[in-house]
């Protein structure tokens, strides 16, 4: 059964906050420089994905100078360019980009990015802020998914109020043809909300990144009722061991069909993998 990891961060950032450096040390016992030395090239990342049993990975740009750091869409797109297995997602910070719409259009049409990642709790906006609507309109027009961080974060400076999944109700209603991926399922206060929204709205998906996989049947007792909505992601390199999470999922008491949808099929559909 092939695997898509829909939520992978870059080893190299143009700049890291002190909070992000501390986080890497705590999670991996490595400095950013050490992580870059091990995984700073596409070849090294692909070798690690092979070891981990991941066939295709979505690599995320991140323009979050307050909380984590900066790695731009140009860098991520260039990193992915030589491999069909690495899929770049753009990052546009609606508060700091001089022309967010122009930047997103360029990231997709010129650089080849195949999705947009927004970080409301790091970039300080509500997902239903009218300021962000032009970006949603571009995603819909270009036929790419938008992924938004929801729920909590450990990085100093994050503002969790922006992570409430309920704000995505407006977005789903106003953009019924836009594919919305809810990263982290509103952890840990809003699992019920995230689930209810994904059930209600045809265009909302749930990315289980960062949730302990063995807890998924407890957090979501009706997980299998929404089998076509789940997306697997790892949050690597902050979460070092992807393989273990995949193995845990394969051992959960769900049907093979549900597991296959979570680990591969749903993501493959959103990413239009052949
Ligand atoms: Zn992440």
- Residue 236: which pLDDT band, with cuts at 50, 70 and 90? very high
Rounded to the nearest angstrom, the distance between the alpha carbon of 68 and the centre of ligand 1 is 10
The CA 93 to ligand 1 mean position distance, Å, reads 15
| Joined tokens for residue 5 | 């990891």
- Given this model, what pLDDT does residue 181 score? 98
Say if residues 142 and 136 touch (Cβ distance below 8 Å): no
**CA 9 to ligand 1 center in whole angstroms:** 6
pTM of the entire predicted model: 0.97
- Dist. CA 19 → ligand 1 center (Å): 15
pLDDT digits (tens, 9 = 90+) for 78-110: 999 999 999 999 999 999 999 999 999 999 999
Å from CA of 154 to ligand 1 middle:
11
pLDDT of residue 274: 76
- Helix, strand, coil percentages (3-state) for the chain, rounded to 5, are 45, 15, 40
For residues 204 and 172, give the distance between their C-alpha atoms in angstroms, rounded to a whole number. 7
| DSSP, residue by residue, 226-266 | GGGGEE----TTTS--HHHHHHHHHTSSS-HHHHHIIIIIH
Rounded to whole angstroms, how far apart are CA atoms 84 and 65?
30
CA distance linking residue 1 with residue 261, whole number of Å = 10
How far is the centre of ligand 1, averaged over its atoms, from the C-alpha of 238 (Å)? 8
- The pLDDT tens digits for 6-41 are 999 999 999 999 999 999 999 999 999 999 999 999
In total, how many domains does the chain have? 1
CA–centroid distance, 254 to ligand 1, in Å, is 26
Per-residue pLDDT of 141-177, as tens digits, reads 999 999 999 999 999 999 999 999 999 999 999 999 9
How far from chain centre, in Å, is Cα 118? Answer: 9
The mean pLDDT of 59-82, rounded to a whole number, is 97
- pLDDT for residue 107: 98
266: domain CATH number is 3.20.20.140
Local confidence band at 48 (pLDDT 50, 70, 90 cut-offs): very high
- Domain containing residue 14: 4-271
Q: What is the mean pLDDT of the chain?
A: 97
Between the CA of 176 and the centroid of ligand 1 the distance, in Å, is 25
Mean pLDDT of 227-255: 97
Range list of H helices, the chain: 18-28, 32-39, 42-52, 73-80, 100-109, 120-123, 133-142, 167-174, 191-200, 216-219, 242-250, 256-260, 266-271
Torsion of CA 57, 251, 248, 42, to 10 degrees: -20
């Amino acid at each position: 059964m092939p695997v898509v990891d829909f939520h992978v961060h870059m080893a190299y950032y143009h700049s890291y906050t002190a909070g992000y450096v501390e986080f890497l040390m705590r999670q991996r016992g490595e400095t950013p420089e050490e992580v870059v030395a091990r995984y700073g090239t596409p070849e090294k990342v692909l070798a690690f994905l092979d070891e981990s049993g991941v066939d295709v990975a979505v690599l995320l740009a991140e323009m979050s100078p307050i909380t984590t750091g900066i790695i731009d869409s140009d860098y991520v797109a260039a990193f992915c360019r030589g491999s069909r297995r690495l899929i770049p997602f753009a990052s546009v910070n609606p508060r700091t980009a001089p022309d967010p719409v122009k930047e997103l259009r360029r990231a997709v049409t010129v650089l080849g990015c195949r999705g947009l990642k927004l970080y409301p709790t790091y970039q300080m906006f509500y997902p239903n802020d009218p300021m962000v609507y032009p970006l949603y309109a571009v995603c819909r027009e270009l036929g790419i998914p938008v992924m938004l961080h929801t729920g909590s974060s450990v990085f100093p400076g994050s503002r969790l109020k922006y992570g409430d999944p309920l704000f995505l109700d407006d977005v789903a209603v106003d953009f019924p043809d836009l594919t919305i991926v809810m990263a982290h399922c509103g952890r840990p206060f809003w699992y019920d909300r995230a689930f209810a929204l994904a059930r209600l709205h045809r265009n909302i998906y749930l990315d289980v990144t960062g949730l302990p996989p063995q807890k998924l049947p407890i957090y979501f007792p009706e997980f299998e009722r929404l089998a076509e909505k789940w997306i697997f992601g790892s949050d690597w390199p902050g979460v070092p061991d992807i393989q273990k999470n995949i193995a845990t999922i394969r051992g959960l008491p769900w049907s093979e069909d549900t597991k296959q949808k979570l680990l591969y099929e749903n993501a493959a559909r959103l990413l239009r993998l052949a």
